[in-house]
Chain A
Amino acid sequence: MTRAAAARLGAWALVVGTLAFLYLPLVPPVLFSLRIPGESAGGGATLAAYAALWRNPILTEAMRTSALLAVLTAVVTTPIALLAAMGVRELSAPRVVLVLLLVPLFIPGVSMGLAEAFFFRLLGIAPSLVTILIVHVLWALPFAFLIILTAMAGFDIVYLEAAYVLGAGPARAFLDVELPLIRTGILGAGTFSLILSLNETVRTSLVQGPLNTVQTYIWSTYLQVGLSPELYAIMSLLIGLTLVLIFILPALARARPRPASEER
């Protein structure tokens, strides 16, 4: 074996090792979710735990809440992030403004959640879907902003200038020219917001009130009952869903919009 081939093999071994380190912990829950209760490991497999999920009214309610929150978070966060990014560009805001917009990323979740819960109490706002939504939007906003800002950095202003001179006002030029060219970033920001909302636990648990999301359900069930095939099943579903979202949505975004005249 040549030195170069050995080096390549070594590099691949590192890559595979790292991936194994990252993903192996996710495997046992999937295996355990398929185990027939009462039987020892190596016995038959069953989807019974998955079927049971749908017969649990608290969990199905939590799923509905989670799905609604995830969609709302994406729908609310993305336009705000877009406007923030446009504002930063328009004002050519100093670096400190950028940093201030990103700092919430680094504030510990518990601190942020407690601060938000306390803030709601001061304002006399009772915990509800709206309080959870606000917390999720605040959590997702810096990420979404960063993604859109990055997409905008790759957009050359000269396209807008060309549209202006051709007679398009700022709104028309934005819709016709900039939006289609930064749509990957916008879809990415939306996807990211969706996933962040779906997976958020700590902040949510502090403002959830009577509502449960899937995450808070898992967390509280674990604390009260401990692990069960049902929990393994729901965890496996969430992991699978996240992977699907991460791989499918960017692929959708990459599909270029077909030029209008080809559709006629």
Chain B
Amino acid sequence: MPEPLLSLHEVTKRFGSTVVADRVSFAVHRGEFFTLLGPSGSGKSTILRMIAGLERPDRGRVLISGRDMADVPPWRRGLGMVFQQYAVFPHMTVADNVGYGLRVRRLPRDVIEARVAELLALVGLAGMARKNVTVLSGGEQQRVALARALAIEPALLLLDEPLGALDEKIRRDMQTELKEIQRKTGTTFVYVTHDQEEALTMSDRIAVFHQGVCVQCDAPEVLFRRPRTRFVAGFFRGSNLVEGDVLDHTDTQLRVRIGERSLVVGRPPGLVPRGSRVAVAIRAENVRIGSAARRCSVQLDAVVSAIVYRGTTVDHIVELRDGQRLAATSTRREIDAPGARTPCGFDPEDVVVLED
């Protein structure tokens, strides 16, 4: 494995009595799109600011290209950063904003002009160089901020909820564009967001934060299909959380009873004594009802309690015999009305036993 571009070792930060980052460790490799995902107050922005040098860790180390950043101020780190509130300089033109980092580095004027033109083309603002930034739309201002951050060709670009202040439609367009720019420039992105869908679409890897702790760090598909904790499972929409009883276990497998059926599933690390109750996650799109349930290897008796129409999909909420509820998502309506009895099925490989 080559040396990571960025690594955090046991980074801890307190604001008063709140721990905003609790022994956070992760490594980001060159060219990666790495996302810090979590609800507001989970500490992800503070971690980004510590990487930038805008906050100081109480404990732990931040290394960039193997170098300890403890005594390096933000202006000597050579990073790029994009802020949620754009932070484009309102008293400067578009070109002066984009060229600011280059002017600070005393590059010759013709070099700066060429580089500014190149970047404005990259972010789709060619021809806007002379405009005053304050007359631009939010999306355009954020493009200026992005071009400004990329102008110095930073190895690492930090993005703090860069699309958070934009409208839904512009946000979707910008997601695709950001990903495209990341691919073209080969820059390593560390991206902060609270939007699970945004994280899933854009990232190579995602670190999920909860109350200052990095609870899981994995590729989007792993995180989505194999959450390790209730928090991660619950954070992604469409996950069913139900409880089961542990009947038996081996080193790698558990026999668990859910409702009136028992099934053999993969075992999480840690202690799971016989007779204990465990939380189990099953994605709603993996739960079948009606005739489709008959092809599943695990089938339970259920009663439909609600049907929620969502356009492209329909959620059927069913109640099992033991009172637990499950959502089954399908592309069309399987049952006409609530109150009907139906089999409810899923396959053991889609059942994830959680660690907590």
Q: Chain A interface (Cβ within 8 Å of chain B)?
A: 156, 158-159, 161-169, 172-173, 176-177, 180-181, 256-257, 259-262
| 1/0 contact string of B61-96 vs chain A (CB within 8 Å) | 000000000000111111111010101011111011
CA distance A161 to B55 in the complex (A): 11
- Asked if B83 contacts A161 (CB within 8 A), the reply is yes
- Asked if B96 contacts A165 (CB within 8 A), the reply is no
Residue of A nearest to B101 (CB): A166
CA distance A229 to B50 in the complex (A): 70
CB contacts under 8 Å to A, within B110-141, are 129-130, 132
Assuming A156-B85, A167-B104, A259-B92, what are 20 further A-B pairs, CB within 8 angstroms? Answer: A161-B54, A163-B100, A164-B53, A164-B74, A165-B53, A165-B54, A165-B77, A165-B79, A165-B80, A165-B158, A166-B100, A166-B148, A168-B100, A168-B104, A181-B91, A257-B91, A259-B91, A259-B93, A260-B93, A261-B130
Question: What is the number of contacts between chain A and chain B, taking CB atoms within 8 Å?
Answer: 81
> Interface centre among A158, A181, A259, by most B CB within 10 Å?
A259
Residue of B nearest to A168 (CB): B104
CB proximity of A180 to chain B, nearest CB, Å: 5
Residue of B nearest to A173 (CB): B75
CA distance A166 to B152 in the complex (A): 8
- Residues in B whose Cβ lies below 8 Å from that of A261: 93, 95-96, 129-130
- Residues in A whose Cβ lies below 8 Å from that of B74: 161, 164-165
- The verdict on B184 contacting chain A, using a C-beta distance below 8 Å, is no
The residue that A166 contacts in the complex, of B73, B104, B132, with Cβ under 8 A, is B104
- The verdict on B169 contacting chain A, using a C-beta distance below 8 Å, is no
- The verdict on B52 contacting chain A, using a C-beta distance below 8 Å, is yes
CB proximity of B143 to chain A, nearest CB, Å: 15
Q: Chain B interface (Cβ within 8 Å of chain A)?
A: 52-54, 73-81, 83, 85, 87, 89-93, 95-96, 100-101, 104-105, 129-130, 132, 145, 148-149, 152, 158
CA distance A257 to B93 in the complex (A): 11
- Asked if B96 contacts A162 (CB within 8 A), the reply is no
In the complex, the 5 A-B pairs of residues with the closest C-beta atoms, listed nearest first: A166-B101, A259-B93, A164-B74, A162-B87, A165-B81
- Residues in B whose Cβ lies below 8 Å from that of A161: 52, 54, 74, 81, 83, 87
- Asked if A167 contacts B152 (CB within 8 A), the reply is yes
Residue of A nearest to B80 (CB): A165
- Asked if A181 contacts B87 (CB within 8 A), the reply is no
- Residues in A whose Cβ lies below 8 Å from that of B105: 167
- Residues in A whose Cβ lies below 8 Å from that of B95: 261
- Residues in A whose Cβ lies below 8 Å from that of B132: 259
CA distance A165 to B85 in the complex (A): 15
CA distance A165 to B78 in the complex (A): 7
- Asked if B75 contacts A164 (CB within 8 A), the reply is yes
- Asked if A167 contacts B91 (CB within 8 A), the reply is no
- Residues in B whose Cβ lies below 8 Å from that of A158: 83, 85, 87
Q: What would 24 A/B residue contacts be, using CB atoms closer than 8 Å?
A: A156-B87, A161-B54, A162-B87, A162-B148, A164-B54, A164-B73, A165-B80, A166-B100, A166-B101, A167-B75, A167-B101, A167-B104, A167-B152, A168-B100, A173-B75, A176-B100, A177-B89, A181-B90, A181-B91, A257-B91, A259-B93, A260-B96, A262-B93, A262-B130
CA distance A181 to B90 in the complex (A): 8
- Asked if B78 contacts A167 (CB within 8 A), the reply is yes
- Asked if A256 contacts B75 (CB within 8 A), the reply is no
- Residues in A whose Cβ lies below 8 Å from that of B91: 180-181, 256-257, 259
CB proximity of B8 to chain A, nearest CB, Å: 18
CA distance A256 to B73 in the complex (A): 32
CB proximity of B163 to chain A, nearest CB, Å: 17
- Residues in A whose Cβ lies below 8 Å from that of B158: 165
- Residues in A whose Cβ lies below 8 Å from that of B90: 181
CB proximity of A140 to chain B, nearest CB, Å: 27
